[in-house]
């Protein structure tokens, strides 16, 4: 109860309606509206409280309350030893974080955006991802690298890249990409509790989006398993597989298509690596059609991997048409609004691709 | 009413400027420098143009006509203008994301810069780059991602090893985003951080100080002595970017104090007026002209159309045959030309 009170006090939104719905003596599940930002904040708060080895470091995470306010209030609550402001030196502080993880702490290393992680990518891959293998099981690296990933609005080429495919390529890393507030909270808690390096790809445009969070998800022990996709919407005609912000696009497209009698099954991957191929296969074996939707570039991307895996498994024989990939346009992100809008998948692109795949 | 003719004004004067702190140098830039009336007027006009341009950008950003990131330069004008005063347009310059001032001193027009900020086809990068990615001849941007430490030491090493004629400039405006330099640096004597590379610490609010130091540094490089470091002590009035109010990690009093005591444009103006190098009316006239130029540029920047969709995929490769680019789905095939 305390955590749900905290939820609506923090967001302020729908506080009155939540109160009105609340009946203290009943056990009816009560949902509250929580933004993705607040869900991430709660996840870190709960894990910092639960395990004193957990700490957060990154640029502006402490005294500034976080560049995107995701770590708001944490420094005030936990102090300098648990919430650490670093200089603007990604390679340096990522290395320090990996070392801390090796020595027994459980760091959360924030990159202000994953574009900056390229400054530190050697630490993520060579120091974190590969070490357990190279040491034949002697040295684990329980670290979480988190931060916003992918396109934002008008931030141009160097600040808009999606890193799902790059990090998803590497054995030894787990790569998570939440969509909703529930995803964000449950998956971040799992990532922090995981004894392996996890790359946690958030999305800046989703931070302020409120979602209903179930009573269950308000518990301090609520976690979502890494490596399991979720069917957000059931359907019989076609499967849409996607992750992060594009889950919203797919659900919106599905609503439009439903009016025309096309029922889409929308699968929210939740995890990029390990990929839940089984969930995709089960769905494709029912619908016989598959469209993948992502913000990243097409070549060697998440959709490309899904296509390959489908072909290698039982679902291939159930396909009535080749798999369609909806992706970002294969160019660096332009700045001008009209160009940027045409560089990423829109809802209409999803609708178009569904119809082409179904040949309607 | 008698009209003052230009013959009434002093054509040049000598000014006393602050001595630079030096590191591993036997000499320092001069503390007595000459500025001509023409130079003074030119610096005044350039700095005022830069100032008004940034303030206009602030306005347009708040109106949501400029999007994304916008890192403003107001307060730091003496740095860009002073540096350009000490080098030539055939020298090469590169900077980070707080780039509008340098784009202007390097040859970009206010119109092109503002139209780039608003993402229009008349922008200096045709609307494709935005605030942080502006380029012109011998100016390599405008860069969004900066490696604040490790890479710079690697560069110092190679520059010194190979005696490269490079001036490394640190515009120390006291804060790295929202973190003060004391909280981010074990040593805030940035001009000494080149270790074996000599360095200068310069008053970055005084355009003459910056110019003199730059001339000194450029001579050092051109005479084959290798690289040199310049730390310009300066200040930004705005926050780190337009999404940072800039008052959570510093006080309004501090900002006001700098504005009142060390504003680079005021400093220059006072010097010129007290040495009879210009009249109040003359400078006011420049202000009026500058204001008009900015208004015209803003007008252009808000009415110029956005880039055409045909531009979307161009400029992937240089000097290459036209290329087919995948759109958002397999049926959309777009065209890219160099």
Are B147 and A349 inside 8 Å of each other by CB? no
Question: Which residue from A89, A116, A324 is facing B329, i.e. has the nearest CB?
Answer: A324
Whether residue A30 has pLDDT greater than 90: no
The token duo for B292 is: 């008009």
CA A127-A129-A131 angle, to 5 degrees, is 60
CA B293-B298-B301 angle, to 5 degrees, is 125
Whether residue A31 has pLDDT greater than 80: no
In terms of CA atoms, which chain B residue is nearest residue A116?
Answer: B145
Q: Which residues of B touch A342 (CB under 8 A)?
A: 309, 312
pLDDT tens per residue, range A41-94: 999 999 999 999 999 999 999 999 999 999 999 999 999 999 999 999 999 999
A15-39: average pLDDT: 65
H/E run at residue A147: strand A144-148
Give the residue ranges of DSSP H helices in A142-299. 164-168, 181-193, 246-259, 277-287
Shortest Cα–Cα distance, B147 to chain A (Å): 6
Here the contacts of B289-293 (C-beta below 8 Å, separation 24 or greater) are: B289/B45, B290/B45, B290/B48, B290/B49, B290/B52, B291/B52, B293/B49, B293/B110
The token duo for A345 is: 């998948």
Are B133 and A156 inside 8 Å of each other by CB? yes
In terms of CA atoms, which chain A residue is nearest residue B127?
Answer: A336
Question: Which residue from A86, A119, A356 is facing B331, i.e. has the nearest CB?
Answer: A356
Question: Which residue from B144, B249, B325 is facing A63, i.e. has the nearest CB?
Answer: B249
Shortest Cα–Cα distance, B170 to chain A (Å): 14
Q: Which residues of A touch B301 (CB under 8 A)?
A: none
Looking at residue B5, its pLDDT comes to: 65
The three-class DSSP label of residue A268 is strand
Shortest Cα–Cα distance, A334 to chain B (Å): 5
Q: Could you count the other beta carbons within 10 Å of the beta carbon of residue B239? A: 19
Q: What is the DSSP letter of B311?
A: G
Looking at residue B8, its pLDDT comes to: 84
Looking at residue A23, its pLDDT comes to: 45
Are A331 and B313 inside 8 Å of each other by CB? yes
Q: Give the β-pairing of B32-36 and A230-233.
A: unpaired
In terms of CA atoms, which chain A residue is nearest residue B245?
Answer: A64
In terms of CA atoms, which chain B residue is nearest residue A64?
Answer: B178
Per-residue pLDDT of chain B (338 residues; tens, 9 = 90+): 455 666 789 999 999 999 999 999 999 999 999 999 999 999 999 999 999 999 999 999 999 999 999 999 999 999 999 999 999 999 999 999 999 999 999 999 999 999 999 999 999 999 999 999 999 999 998 888 876 678 899 999 999 999 999 999 999 999 999 999 999 999 999 999 999 999 999 999 999 999 999 999 999 999 999 999 999 999 999 999 999 999 999 999 999 999 999 999 999 999 999 999 999 999 999 999 999 999 999 999 999 999 999 999 999 999 999 999 999 999 999 999 98
Question: Which residue from A64, A343, A356 is facing B249, i.e. has the nearest CB?
Answer: A64
Query: Is the peptide bond prior to A17 cis by the omega test (within 30 degrees of 0)?
Result: no
H/E run at residue A176: strand A174-176
- Give the gyration radius of chain A's Cα atoms: 20
In terms of CA atoms, which chain A residue is nearest residue B68?
Answer: A154
The token duo for B284 is: 């006011």
Cβ contacts below 8 Å, chain A against chain B, sum to 154
Of B207, B149, B152, which Cα lies nearest the Cα of B181?
B149
Question: Which residue from A63, A327, A329 is facing B334, i.e. has the nearest CB?
Answer: A329
Looking at residue B1, its pLDDT comes to: 45
Looking at residue B141, its pLDDT comes to: 87
Of A313, A180, A314, which Cα lies nearest the Cα of A244?
A180
Are A335 and B128 inside 8 Å of each other by CB? yes
A34-46: average pLDDT: 98
Looking at residue A75, its pLDDT comes to: 98
Whether residue A240 has pLDDT greater than 60: yes
The token duo for A228 is: 């399991």
C-alpha A188/C-alpha A177 separation (Å) is 10
Residue from B65, B328, B336, B338 whose CB has the most chain A CBs within 10 Å, to mutate: B328
pLDDT tens per residue, range A110-121: 999 999 999 999
Q: What is the ipTM of this complex?
A: 0.89
Query: What one-character-per-residue DSSP string does B6-49 give?
Result: GGGS-SEEEEE-PPPEEES-S----SEEEEEHHHHHHHHHHHHH
Shortest Cα–Cα distance, B76 to chain A (Å): 21
Q: B310: buried, middle or exposed (CB in 10 Å: 19+, 13-18, 0-12)?
A: exposed
Shortest Cα–Cα distance, B83 to chain A (Å): 25
CA B142-A301-B97 angle, to 5 degrees, is 10
pLDDT tens per residue, range A263-289: 999 999 999 999 999 999 999 999 999
Question: Which residue from A59, A116, A325 is facing B145, i.e. has the nearest CB?
Answer: A116
The three-class DSSP label of residue A336 is coil
Shortest Cα–Cα distance, A120 to chain B (Å): 10
Looking at residue A11, its pLDDT comes to: 40
Question: Which residue from A158, A330, A352 is facing B325, i.e. has the nearest CB?
Answer: A330
Are the C-beta atoms of residues A177 and A267 closer than 8 Å to each other? no
Q: Could you count the other beta carbons within 10 Å of the beta carbon of residue B26? A: 6
Whether residue A17 has pLDDT greater than 60: no
Q: Which residues of B touch A110 (CB under 8 A)?
A: none
Say which residue, A191 or B1, is predicted with more confidence. Answer: A191
Positions of A marked active-site: 90, 159
Of A359, A242, A348, A221, which Cα lies nearest the Cα of A294?
A242
pLDDT tens per residue, range A124-136: 999 999 999 999 9
Q: Could you count the other beta carbons within 10 Å of the beta carbon of residue A165? A: 21
**pTM recorded for the entire structure:** 0.90
In terms of CA atoms, which chain A residue is nearest residue B333?
Answer: A329
Are A349 and B179 inside 8 Å of each other by CB? no
Mean pLDDT across chain A: 93
Q: Which residues of A touch B149 (CB under 8 A)?
A: 87, 89, 92
Instruction: Kindly list the distances between the CA atom of residue B335 and the CA atoms of A329, A336, B122, B313, in Å, as whole numbers in the listed order.
Output: 12, 18, 22, 6
Here the contacts of A247-254 (C-beta below 8 Å, separation 24 or greater) are: A247/A179, A247/A180, A248/A179, A248/A209, A249/A293, A249/A345, A249/A346, A249/A347, A249/A350, A250/A293, A250/A350, A252/A347, A253/A347, A253/A350, A253/A351, A253/A354
Of B98, B194, B84, which Cα lies nearest the Cα of B143?
B98
Q: What is the dihedral of CA B192, B198, B200, B201, to 10 degrees?
A: 0
Residue from B176, B185, B329, B331 whose CB has the most chain A CBs within 10 Å, to mutate: B329
Are A154 and B178 inside 8 Å of each other by CB? no
Are A324 and B148 inside 8 Å of each other by CB? no
A198-220: average pLDDT: 96
Give the residue ranges of DSSP H helices in chain A. 2-11, 15-21, 36-50, 74-78, 90-102, 121-122, 131-134, 164-168, 181-193, 246-259, 277-287, 302-312, 337-341, 347-358
Q: What is the DSSP letter of A109?
A: E
> Percentage of chain A surpassing pLDDT 70?
92
Shortest Cα–Cα distance, A226 to chain B (Å): 29
Question: Which residue from B307, B313, B330 is facing A336, i.e. has the nearest CB?
Answer: B307
Q: Which residues pair with B312 in a beta bridge?
A: none
Are B147 and A339 inside 8 Å of each other by CB? no
Q: Which residues of B touch A339 (CB under 8 A)?
A: 119, 127-128, 306-307, 309, 311-312
Are A337 and B129 inside 8 Å of each other by CB? no
Q: Which residues of B touch A155 (CB under 8 A)?
A: 68-69, 130
Q: Which residues pair with A54 in a beta bridge?
A: A106
Of A246, A327, A323, A243, which Cα lies nearest the Cα of A288?
A323
Q: Which residues of A touch B146 (CB under 8 A)?
A: 88
Looking at residue B145, its pLDDT comes to: 80
Looking at residue B327, its pLDDT comes to: 96
């Amino acid at each position: 109860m305390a955590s749900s009170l905290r939820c609506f006090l923090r967001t302020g939104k729908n506080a009155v309606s939540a109160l009105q719905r609340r009946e203290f003596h009943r056990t009816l599940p009560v949902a509250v509206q929580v933004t993705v930002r607040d869900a991430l904040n709660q996840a870190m708060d709960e894990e910092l409280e639960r395990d004193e080895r957990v700490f957060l470091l990154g640029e502006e995470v402490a005294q500034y309350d976080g560049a995107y306010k995701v770590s708001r209030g944490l420094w005030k609550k936990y102090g300098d030893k648990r919430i650490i402001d670093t200089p603007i030196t990604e390679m340096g502080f990522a290395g320090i974080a990996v070392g801390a993880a090796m020595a027994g702490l459980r760091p959360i290393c924030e990159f202000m955006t994953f574009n900056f992680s390229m400054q530190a990518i050697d630490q993520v891959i060579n120091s974190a991802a590969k070490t357990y293998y190279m040491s034949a099981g002697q040295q684990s690296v329980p670290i979480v690298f988190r931060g916003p990933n992918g396109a934002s609005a008008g931030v141009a080429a160097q600040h808009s890249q999606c890193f799902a495919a790059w990090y998803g390529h590497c054995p030894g890393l787990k790569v998570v990409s939440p969509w909703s507030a529930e995803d964000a909270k449950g998956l971040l808690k799992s990532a922090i509790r995981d004894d392996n390096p996890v790359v946690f790809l958030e999305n800046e445009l989703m931070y302020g989006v409120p979602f209903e969070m179930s009573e269950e998800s308000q518990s301090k022990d609520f976690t979502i398993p890494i490596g399991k996709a979720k069917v957000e919407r059931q359907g019989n005609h076609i499967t849409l597989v996607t992750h992060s912000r594009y889950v919203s696009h797919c659900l919106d497209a599905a609503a439009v298509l439903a009016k025309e009698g096309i029922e889409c099954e929308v699968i929210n991957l939740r995890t990029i690596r390990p990929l839940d191929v089984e969930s995709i296969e089960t769905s494709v074996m029912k619908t016989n059609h598959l469209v993948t939707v992502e913000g990243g570039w097409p070549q060697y991307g998440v959709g490309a991997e899904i296509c390959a895996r489908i072909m290698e498994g039982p679902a291939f024989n159930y396909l009535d048409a080749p798999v369609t990939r909806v992706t970002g346009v294969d160019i660096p992100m332009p700045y001008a609004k009209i160009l940027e809008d045409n560089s990423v998948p829109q809802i209409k692109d999803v609708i178009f691709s569904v119809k082409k795949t179904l040949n309607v | 009413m008698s009209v003052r003719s230009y013959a009434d004004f002093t054509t040049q004067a000598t000014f006393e400027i602050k001595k630079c702190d030096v590191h591993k140098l036997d000499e320092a830039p001069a503390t007595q420098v000459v500025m001509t009336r023409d130079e003074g007027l030119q610096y005044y006009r350039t700095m005022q143009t830069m100032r008004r341009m940034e303030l206009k950008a602030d306005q347009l950003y708040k109106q949501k006509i400029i999007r994304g990131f916008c890192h403003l330069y107001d307060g730091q004008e003496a740095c860009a203008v002073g540096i350009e005063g000490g080098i030539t347009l055939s020298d090469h310059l590169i900077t980070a994301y707080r780039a509008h001032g340098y784009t202007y001193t390097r040859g970009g027009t206010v119109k092109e810069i503002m139209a780039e900020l608003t993402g229009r086809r008349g922008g200096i990068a045709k609307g494709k780059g935005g605030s942080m990615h502006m380029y012109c001849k011998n100016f390599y941007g405008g860069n969004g991602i900066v490696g604040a430490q490790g890479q710079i030491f690697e560069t110092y090493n190679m520059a010194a090893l190979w005696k490269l004629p490079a001036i490394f400039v640190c515009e120390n405006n006291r804060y790295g985003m929202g973190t003060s330099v004391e909280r981010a640096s074990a040593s805030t004597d940035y001009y000494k951080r080149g270790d074996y590379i000599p360095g200068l610490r310069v008053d970055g609010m005084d355009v003459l100080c910056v110019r003199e130091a730059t001339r000194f540094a450029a001579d050092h490089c051109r005479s084959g002595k290798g690289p040199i470091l310049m730390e310009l002590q300066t200040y930004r009035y705005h926050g780190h970017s337009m999404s940072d109010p800039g008052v959570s990690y510093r006080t309004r009093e501090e900002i006001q104090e700098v504005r009142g005591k060390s504003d680079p444009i005021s400093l220059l103006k006072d010097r010129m007026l007290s040495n009879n190098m210009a009249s109040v009316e003359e400078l006011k006239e420049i202000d009026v002209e500058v204001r008009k130029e900015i208004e015209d540029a803003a007008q252009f920047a808000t009415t110029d159309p956005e880039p055409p969709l045909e531009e979307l995929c161009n400029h992937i490769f240089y000097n290459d045959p036209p290329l087919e680019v995948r759109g958002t789905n397999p049926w959309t095939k777009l065209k890219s030309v160099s």
